[in-house]
Structures are given as structure tokens and as C-alpha cells.
Amino acid sequence: MSRLVSAQVWAWLLTTVCVGELSAQHPPYDVFPEANPPYYRVRYEASTVTGELPYGVNYTIWIPPNAKTLRGVIVHQH
């Protein structure tokens, strides 16, 4: 019986402690380091219109200094 209670207490503690750390980001969300060439950054604010961008996003791109033409861009989001 005491092992069952002990296991339940540990499960509760782990759940309680871990839940606070599950969010991917911590405030402030809108503070980003300066992007100097060859890095460029653009921000799109969230929309209040249904079906449009529900969350604000920041995109940062690195363009090699000697690049004359971009043939494509791969976007990686989390």
C-alpha cells in the first residue's frame, strides 16, 4: 500500500513540476536580438479575422553575402 501511495505522490509531483515547463516559449515573445546583414528579419502580426494568421510570427533569413539570386526558400517553423 505504501508503495502505491509513494508512486502516486511521485507521479503527482512530476506532473505538477513538468506542466509549468511544457510551454515552448516564455514571455516576452516579441523581444528578438537585432538582425544585421546577412541576417534579415520580418514580423507578421496576428490577425483577429477568422481563417487568417492567429499568432504573430517572426521570420529570420540568412542570405550569403555573395548570393546574387535566391532560387528558393525553405521555411522551418516550430
Element at 13 (helix H, strand E): helix 2-19
Query: Does 39 reside within a domain?
Result: yes
Q: What is the pLDDT of residues 16-40, one digit of tens each?
A: 666 655 555 566 666 777 888 899 9
What mean pLDDT, rounded, does the chain reach?
79
pLDDT for 69: 93
Structure confidence at residue 19 (pLDDT): 60
The DSSP-derived string for 28-70 is -TT------TTEEEEEE---SSTTS--S-EEEEEE--TT----
Q: Which residues contact 55 (CB under 8 A, 6 or more apart)?
A: 46
Is residue 78 in some structural domain? no
Does residue 74 belong to any structural domain of this protein?
Answer: no
pTM above threshold 0.85: no
Domain count, the chain: 1
The verdict on residue 68 lying in a domain is no
Is 18 inside a domain boundary? yes
Biggest alpha carbon distance in the chain?
71
What's the domain range around 17? 2-62
Residue 75 in any domain: the answer is no
Distance, CA of 74 to CA of 60 (rounded, Å): 11
32 located within any domain? yes
Q: Is 17 a domain residue?
A: yes
Higher-scoring residue by pLDDT: 2, 67: 67
